[in-house]
């Protein structure tokens, strides 16, 4: 019989995490599916469970020194409704799941689940997000691209929990997210593409591009982005083919029940062309 811990404070949660081997439940929208059993039966949790979804300390959203911090227990719906969260961060979240799931699910849960098809991950990589990990030993911050080490793999230690996600803010003039799924809502991405850019006087001052669902983790290539930076709108069309070829080498999609590797590759590169040719160049 597993124990269920429902701590009242973060300090209590960290103490429990340090003393017991626990499975963290935040919104539970991934965990409950993963460990579900037949109707009417309790989930088949492999170890004691630590519920952190109600901790007030993890429910905060704030801007500190130009960075947005989102507490680990902030739900996706709360994030979407919050006035401090810019639209380019909300963009992929709007396309996640359905209202009922967004009322429970969290950004931190999507990150810690580290699925190759997690909708928030391309955005988190593109914006150079960091995750804060806490334990009774102390606190450490890791860039998301280091925290995630593979499909469903992270650097989270057994006594740690993620307390917040931090995103540097910028005045992006353009944001773009496309998710290819089997239907409009409640669909896991077959492929996804997130990009933001700053354009000034008809030229690209910054651009960040990230592909989801086409490799074990998100694909981002700063050298490819830099090849577009400084380019005037009129010069972008001439660069599409080179950039497309470079990304084509980096994408390593899989065949699975949701899609084929070939479809994922083709559609992802078409989204890249669409973004550069129709949005960045206009």
Ligand X SMILES: Cc1cc2nc3c(=O)[nH]c(=O)nc-3n(C[C@H](O)[C@H](O)[C@H](O)COP(=O)(O)OP(=O)(O)OC[C@H]3O[C@@H](n4cnc5c(N)ncnc54)[C@H](O)[C@@H]3O)c2cc1C
Query: Which runs of E-coded beta strand occur in the chain?
Result: 4-5, 22-25, 48-51, 61-64, 67-71, 130-135, 138-143, 148-150, 153-154, 161-168, 174-180, 191-200, 203-212
Number of residues near ligand X (by CB under 6 A): 31
Find the part of the chain contacting ligand X (CB under 6 A) among 11-19, 40-48, 185-193, 262-270. 185-193
Find the part of the chain contacting ligand X (CB under 6 A) among 12-20, 25-33, 40-48, 219-227. 25-33
Q: Does 106 bind ligand X (CB under 6 A)?
A: yes
Report residue 48: phi and psi, to 5°.
Answer: -60, 155
Q: Does 122 bind ligand X (CB under 6 A)?
A: no
The only residue of 6, 23, 169, 221 in contact with ligand X, by rule CB under 6 A: 23
Q: Does 109 bind ligand X (CB under 6 A)?
A: yes
In contact, 152 and 118? CB cutoff 8 Å: no
The only residue of 108, 167, 204, 276 in contact with ligand X, by rule CB under 6 A: 108
Residue 33 has a CB neighbour count (10 Å cut-off) of: 9
The only residue of 89, 156, 180, 272 in contact with ligand X, by rule CB under 6 A: 156
DSSP assignment string, 157-196: -TT-EEEEEEEE----SEEEEEEE-SSSSS---SEEEEEE
Q: Does 119 bind ligand X (CB under 6 A)?
A: yes
Name the residues that contact ligand X, by CB under 6 A.
23-31, 33, 52, 72, 96-97, 101, 104-106, 108-110, 112-113, 118-119, 156, 161-162, 186-188
């Amino acid at each position: 019989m597993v124990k269920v811990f429902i701590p009242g404070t973060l300090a209590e949660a960290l103490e429990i995490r340090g003393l017991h081997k626990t499975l963290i439940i935040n919104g539970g929208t991934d965990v409950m599916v993963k460990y579900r059993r037949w109707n009417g039966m309790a989930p088949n949790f492999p170890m004691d469970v630590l519920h952190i979804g109600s901790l007030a300390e993890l429910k905060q959203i704030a801007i500190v020194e130009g960075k947005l911090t989102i507490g680990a227990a902030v739900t996706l719906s709360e994030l979407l409704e919050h006035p401090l969260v810019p639209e380019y961060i909300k963009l992929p979240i709007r396309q996640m799941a359905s209202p009922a799931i967004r009322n429970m699910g969290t950004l931190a849960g999507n990150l810690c689940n580290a699925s190759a098809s997690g909708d928030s991950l391309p955005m988190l990589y593109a914006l150079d997000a960091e995750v804060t990990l806490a334990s009774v030993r102390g606190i450490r911050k890791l860039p998301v691209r280091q925290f995630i080490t593979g499909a469903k793999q992270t650097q989270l230690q057994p006594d740690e929990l993620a307390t917040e996600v931090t995103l540097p803010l910028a005045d992006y003039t353009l944001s773009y997210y496309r998710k290819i799924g089997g239907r409009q809502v409640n669909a896991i991405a077959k492929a996804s593409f997130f990009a933001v850019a700053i354009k000034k006087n008809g030229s690209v001052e910054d651009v960040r591009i990230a592909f989801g669902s086409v490799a074990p983790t998100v694909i981002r290539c700063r050298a490819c982005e830099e090849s577009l930076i400084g380019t005037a709108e009129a010069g972008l069309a001439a660069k599409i083919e080179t950039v497309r070829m470079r990304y084509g080498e980096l994408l390593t999609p899989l065949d699975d029940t949701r899609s084929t590797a070939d479809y994922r590759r083709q559609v992802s590169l078409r989204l890249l062309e669409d973004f550069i040719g129709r949005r960045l160049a206009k």
